Structure 1
Amino acid sequence: MLLLFFLTQKAFTEMQINKLETTKKINMIDMKCDMVKTGKHKYTLTEKGTSNLTDDTRVYLSVGRMFLLTDVQNMREELKGKQEKCDKAIELLEKKKEFLQKSLKDQEDGLRELVQQRKDADGTTK
């Protein structure tokens, strides 16, 4: 009976640790998703701000720490490409978050089951 107690205690502790780690991962995904959404919003605002420019306007595309002279059409294509990348990244992060939320629910169910088994075991020994 004592061995069963230590095994259930160890399993309970491991399940709690896994639950905390999964919660941290979900929070990190939320933060990453917010960052990507902010970037997408920035690209959208830039596209709206440059929508009234004529095709002969000189615009510069930032590449790392430098700026390259480019035409307006190329800049708009770059902005749309970046927005699409952001959309794909958001979709991927949402899928990961859904998976982790399902995993978290399973872990919580496992904890409840373990607690219930412990209560049942205590009730039968008394």
Structure 2
Amino acid sequence: MRSPVLLKMAAPIDLELKKAFSELQVKMIDTQQKVKLADLQIDQLTRVQKHAKLTHAEITTLPDKTRLYEGVGRMFILQSKEEINIQLMDKHKTADEKIKELEQKKLYLERSVKDAEDNIREMLLSRRAH
């Protein structure tokens, strides 16, 4: 039978570990959801880039005097070839910048979960040592 002093010390340690594990679990679930969202956003931005690139490639083959129209809501506006090319390049550039930001965000999230796991691992090892 354990002495009352040991039981009193073991209970706070177990509660502390339990709390740390539950916090880690919540953090991991939250991070996994954020990483999935970032992946979806990256996929969507990649499609935007691909669309802009293909449209740009098609437009460059057209003669300079070709009448081009930009879709705006339910209507179409006559635009110059140069204007449409500029818009397509801006779209591509903006998507590229957002993809880089999302990749950085994913790295940060993954690193923070790894740090939390390492902290719990250290806590467990220190508990076993005592």
Indicate the TM-score class for this superposition, using the shorter chain for normalisation: 0.7 to 0.9
RMSD: 1.5
TM-score (norm 1): 0.86
1:117, distance to aligned residue in structure 2 (A): 3.5
Distance 1:40 1:34 in 2: 10
Distance 1:90 1:114 in 2: 36
Distance 2:34 2:77 in 1: 38
Residue 77 (structure 1) aligned to one of 82, 86, 94:
86
Residue 26 of structure 2 corresponds to 17
Listed one character per residue, the Cα deviations across residues 5-40 of structure 1 (whole Å, up to 9, x for unaligned) are 112211211112112211221121111111101110
Distance 1:27 1:6 in 2: 32
Residue 54 of structure 1 corresponds to 63
Distance 1:99 1:61 in 2: 39
1:111, distance to aligned residue in structure 2 (A): 2.6
Structure 2: gaps (5+ residues): 1-8
Larger Rg: 2
1:90, distance to aligned residue in structure 2 (A): 0.8
Give the residue type in structure 2 aligned to 1:110: N
Are residues 1:95 and 2:104 paired? yes
Are residues 1:7 and 2:25 paired? no
SS in 2 for 1:46: helix
Are residues 1:105 and 2:101 paired? no
Residue 50 (structure 2) aligned to one of 30, 41, 44:
41
**Structure 1 range deviating more: 105-114 or 82-91:** 105-114
Give the residue type in structure 2 aligned to 1:109: D
SS in 2 for 1:104: helix
Q: What is the number of residues matched between the two proteins? A: 121
Distance 2:123 2:73 in 1: 53
SS in 1 for 2:69: strand
1:109, distance to aligned residue in structure 2 (A): 1.0
1:54, distance to aligned residue in structure 2 (A): 1.2
